[in-house]
């Protein structure tokens, strides 16, 4: 049996690419240890997933990343407490980054690009919806089915 039922988003390849770009920009802006956070988005098992499996694989990778981050932070905090230098740790992670990976100019341009791509995606989605078939759900008429008194429910 399948691990999960795939529920692909509309225009799935386009959506996946936009999500990867948006999420990569977000973690680049929010976290000092960007390479560690980008690894869970850009790992081949997630990045090369078929679009219909992307959400499942991304969810699993995110779960593993969150678990590993919590464990890493707990260990760093315990080690710092044992040494008595807790005040010297960077907030949040417990490990000072070797360098800052952020670039305000790059993040601004990346965000503007993502916003423009999102508008294009919305336009493509609207066009796809307008040109798609309309399906009707036909409910069976249960009153026409034979009724048996021998049916055990």
pLDDT, tens digit (0-9, with 9 covering 90-100), for 22-43:
988 988 888 777 777 788 788 8
Residue closest to 9 by CA, chosen among 60, 50, 62: 50
Structure confidence at residue 41 (pLDDT):
81
Q: What average pLDDT does this structure show over 115-131?
A: 90
Q: Taking a C-beta distance cutoff of 8 angstroms, is the pair 87, 43 a contact? A: no
Please check the confidence at residue 110 and state whether its pLDDT lies above 90.
yes
Q: Averaged over 4-18, what is the pLDDT?
A: 80
pLDDT band at 122 (very low <50, low <70, confident <90, very high): very high
CA distance linking residue 123 with residue 129, whole number of Å: 10
Which DSSP string do the residues of 47-60 spell out, in sequence order?
Answer: HTS-GGGHHHHHHH
- pLDDT tens, 44-64? 888 888 877 888 888 899 899
Residue 113: pLDDT above 90? yes
DSSP state of 133: P
Higher-confidence residue: 132 or 16? Answer: 16
Selected residue with higher pLDDT from 120 and 84: 120
Rounded Cα gap, residues 38 and 100, in angstroms: 14
**Separation between Cα atoms, residue 40 and residue 61, nearest integer Å:** 6
**pLDDT of 8 higher than 80:** no
Cα separation, 60 vs 26, whole angstroms: 19
State CA 36 to chain mean position distance.
15
Could you tell me how many helices (H) and strands (E) the chain has, helices first? 5, 0
**Six-digit token string for 147:** 């009724």
Give pLDDT tens digits for 49-104: 887 788 888 889 989 988 988 888 888 888 777 766 554 444 444 444 545 667 88
């Amino acid at each position: 049996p399948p691990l999960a039922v795939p529920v692909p988003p509309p225009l799935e390849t386009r959506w996946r690419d936009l999500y990867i770009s948006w999420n990569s920009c977000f973690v680049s802006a929010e976290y000092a240890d960007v390479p560690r956070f980008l690894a869970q988005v850009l790992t081949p098992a997630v990045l090369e997933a078929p679009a219909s499996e992307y959400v499942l694989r991304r969810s699993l990778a995110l779960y593993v990343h969150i678990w590993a981050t919590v464990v890493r932070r707990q260990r760093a905090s315990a080690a710092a407490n044992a040494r008595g230098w807790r005040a010297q740790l960077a907030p949040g992670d417990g490990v000072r980054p070797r360098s800052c990976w952020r670039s305000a100019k790059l993040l601004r341009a990346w965000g503007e690009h993502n916003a423009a791509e999102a508008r294009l995606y919305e336009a493509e989605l609207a066009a796809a919806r307008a040109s798609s078939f309309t399906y009707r759900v036909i409910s069976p008429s249960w009153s026409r089915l034979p009724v048996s008194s021998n049916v055990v429910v």
